[in-house]
A and B are shown apart, each in its own frame.
Chain A
């Protein structure tokens, strides 16, 4: 892992009327790491991720993603990121391949390249038999894995995952994290939000959010030591009780 910063946020703030969803967030994400963004429901994780993906305009703050300014170079950022939203977002009435093909071609990938890569991907996932199945006909676990694969299909520098394993069984979650590791090994930075604390331990570094503020930011191991507990779950409970 290098110390090259790929995301820098200084005093990132987002207000909805009087409600402050993100309160002066300051953090860096290094190239190639798995960065966990933790917090209870409503802590402001999704708001932050939407700002970084260019879906939402911040109220204030200096933010750079993949080296580009979030205010002026929004469209350049988009070429370099992948995003998997909390809400499942593949087209239910298109097949597995049609979905991959559609998103890849929007990112400007060439036809032959898409075809080759899609076949490789499905083979790797051991999912080639479902290439021409409609998304609505495949199980949720597979849908999530495909949504992730679609988000990194165009080989972005960073991929943002917003609670990617919500509602997924433990075995599939394990497989999902294997995919995340593989992606990180390929050099893609992973920015992931979750509220499963066991998942937090898979991350290189985590930040914990509470009521719109970042209250802790370190490696899982350091946090466990710092709070003198056994695991991340207890860290979280301790922080949330404060």
Chain B
């Protein structure tokens, strides 16, 4: 026990004596939360729309005004489709809407007409969101026509009595920042724990102090535990710090129990710290370690469902997520914070992490060799 405490004390002394360490612990979370949460927003407020109105009737003008009234579109006009297409090529337009000649006439006479939408899908996400917004506006426009002609066609007017009202659970205002900031917090503690523990052991290898440790009668488990605990404490502190910032800046809700959140965080962090140690067992230099860590973090973060929900990924990708510890914790954090889930709702994810953590920790202890 005293041996473990000596190591913990030594690690803390070294961390806090390192002048770059404190900024890393305090400034980086702040910057990440601020920059990424605001920057990675999927809310789109300024979609450039060009209207090619070949009809020029009150009804076509009414449709155009619907778009003008929407906060999502910046509406411009273009005289021909080819002109408008040029604007898309130059990246000045995101959407073209072509209102064909005879639009009004067809609607009044035949009760239907066609509309053409052209999307700039270089950024597929942006295009599909623009599509969603446009569909919504056209749908509303349609409803209005039906409503106005309700006297003529009573049977269609019946539909209008069904009133659809949406309510978005767990994030009623569809505030993207809440979703993002909870995800960024996960990334934050992931990177801190992985890099801290990984770099630490490799640095001892590089400086040669590991040899000096290896000739002592220290037990492997004492060494590993002594290395893990300081970084676990720092990462937990980091999480608390990040949560506070997210609460103040983005009003991140704490629906569930914080105790459960931190309990799960401990299990998750042990997993990540062990992975960091494992990486350092297999690397001889800090440079090697950075490459391995970069690859690991890059893939697993993007797969974890931080930007796009993991459930919409292809089957094989979802299967790959079984071995992605980040995706489990991402889910746990969002469920506890946003949904207020309790222990029994997250038990599967938690169990997965427990298994993952004990495997990686055991592997790290076994693979760390005092004698080559």
Interface of A toward B, CB cutoff 8 Å: 53-57, 74-76, 78-79, 81-83, 85, 87-94, 98, 101-103, 105-108
Contact = CB atoms under 8 A, between A and B. Distances in A.
A83 B215 contact: yes
Interface of B: 2-3, 6-7, 10, 13-14, 17-18, 207-209, 211-218, 370-372
B371 A107 contact: no
Nearest to B222: A106
Contact of B372 (A57, A79, A105): A57
Contact of B10 (A79, A92, A98, A107): A98
Nearest to B213: A106
B2 A55 contact: no
Given A85-B208, A89-B209, A106 B215 contact: no
Contacts of B207: 87, 89, 91-92
Contacts of A94: 10, 13-14, 17
Contacts of B370: 54-55
Nearest to B5: A105
A119 B10 CA distance: 20
A214 to B, nearest CB: 23
Contacts of B214: 54-55
Nearest to A56: B372
Given A75-B217, A79-B217, A94-B14, A103 B372 contact: no
Nearest to B17: A93
A78 B6 contact: no
A81 B211 CA distance: 13
Contact of A83 (B3, B13, B212): B212
A91 B13 CA distance: 11
Nearest to A51: B371
Contact of A93 (B14, B208, B371): B14
Contact of B209 (A53, A75, A90, A105): A90
A107 B6 contact: no
A107 B222 CA distance: 13
Nearest to A104: B6
Contacts of B217: 75-76, 78-79, 106-108
Nearest to B208: A87
B214 to A, nearest CB: 6
A106 B208 contact: no
